[in-house]
């Protein structure tokens, strides 16, 4: 029997929008290479229409996700970590190619990313106790402050940290009940697109996270100006792009998280800063004693 050399089945990377895997509506792709310039794959080149579709999907998913219990959201995030653990070897390979790391260093990055999902999963039902609570009031009232999610958040993922940095900006957004439209690293989008496959096979509802790839400036511009986007994380933007996006975001008073230094060490303890970046505080006043049972909030 003759031996025939088989052809490798190359992976087709797609966007992740609304729990589905569409190609860019424009049909465009761009070449993705490793740190040495070797071709890895063709990634979808997202258009403005893709960005708008992602916002529609994120808004549709927001009510159910924000209304889920914090404990349930924690379970869902933990499930993502479980699924990533099962596909660890794939992500080690993709991170090594994307960031030019040795296999051992890439494995450490992937392990840290999995652990970060677990870390944020543990915060879902605790952050409300940290930033909310009863406030002292001089009068026959009691006053309670509770955090609520901002809404739809556009996230520009870090350009250099294609996986750990990516997870570090997505997980806190959805842990607090927001939904996300994520623009993957322009030069190294493959780990982000593969993460979409993990999210789809975990318990994350479709539309809670939407992943786009392509030219960061081209996709971010319509998101910053979009009237149904409530906040934008500029982590992956350079100084010039960040300035332009802040101006566009001012049209509907979005929350804006400014970019970090390009050499950010994503392995350090993230703290609660990103958890609180996209939360609003609801304060409830309620009378006590003989004033009756009616209350008000603002």
> In terms of pTM, does the model score above 0.85?
yes
Identify whether the C-beta of residue 137 lies closer than 8 Å to the C-beta of residue 83: no
**Given phi > 0 = left and psi -120 to 50 = alpha, else beta, which region is 4?**
beta
One digit per residue, pLDDT tens: the chain, 298 residues?
A: 567 888 888 888 999 999 999 999 989 999 999 988 999 999 999 999 999 999 999 999 999 999 999 999 999 999 999 999 999 999 999 999 999 999 999 999 999 999 999 999 999 999 988 887 777 777 777 777 888 999 999 999 999 999 999 999 999 999 999 999 999 999 999 999 999 999 999 999 999 999 999 999 999 999 999 999 999 999 999 999 999 999 999 988 899 999 876 678 999 999 999 999 999 988 887 787 654 455 454 4
C-alpha atoms less than 13 angstroms from C-alpha of 289 in its C-beta half-sphere: 5
Identify whether the C-beta of residue 146 lies closer than 8 Å to the C-beta of residue 286: no
CA gap 166, 183 in Å, rounded: 10
Angle between helices 216-225 and 48-67 (to 10 degrees): 60
The CATH homologous superfamily of the domain defined by 40-297 = Aldehyde Dehydrogenase; Chain A, domain 1 (3.40.605.10)
């Amino acid at each position: 029997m003759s031996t025939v050399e088989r052809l490798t089945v190359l992976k087709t990377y797609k966007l992740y929008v609304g729990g589905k895997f569409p190609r860019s509506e424009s049909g465009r792709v761009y070449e993705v290479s490793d740190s040495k310039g070797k071709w890895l794959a063709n990634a979808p080149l997202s258009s403005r229409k893709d960005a708008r579709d992602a916002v529609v999907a994120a808004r549709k998913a927001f009510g159910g996700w924000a209304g889920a219990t914090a404990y349930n959201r924690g379970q869902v995030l933990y499930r993502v970590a479980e699924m990533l653990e099962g596909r660890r070897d794939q992500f080690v390979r993709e991170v090594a190619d994307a960031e030019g790391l040795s296999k051992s260093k890439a494995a450490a990055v992937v392990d840290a990313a999995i652990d970060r999902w677990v870390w944020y999963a543990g915060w879902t039902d605790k952050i409300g106790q940290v930033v909310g609570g009863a406030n002292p009031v001089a009068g026959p009232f009691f006053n309670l402050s509770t955090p609520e999610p901002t809404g739809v958040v556009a996230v520009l993922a870090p350009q250099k940290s294609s996986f750990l940095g990516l997870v570090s900006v997505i997980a806190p957004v959805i842990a607090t009940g927001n939904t996300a439209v994520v623009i993957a690293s322009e030069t190294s989008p493959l780990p982000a697109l593969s993460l979409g496959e993990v999210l789809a096979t975990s318990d994350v509802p479709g539309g809670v996270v939407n992943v786009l790839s392509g030219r960061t400036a081209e996709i971010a511009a319509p998101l910053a100006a979009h009237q149904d986007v409530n906040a934008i994380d500029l982590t992956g933007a350079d100084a010039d792009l960040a300035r332009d996006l802040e101006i566009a975001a001012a049209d509907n008073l979005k929350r804006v998280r400014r970019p970090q230094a390009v050499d950010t060490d994503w392995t350090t303890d993230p703290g609660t800063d990103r958890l609180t970046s996209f939360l609003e505080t609801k304060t409830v006043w309620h009378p006590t004693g003989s004033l009756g049972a009616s209350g008000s909030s603002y």
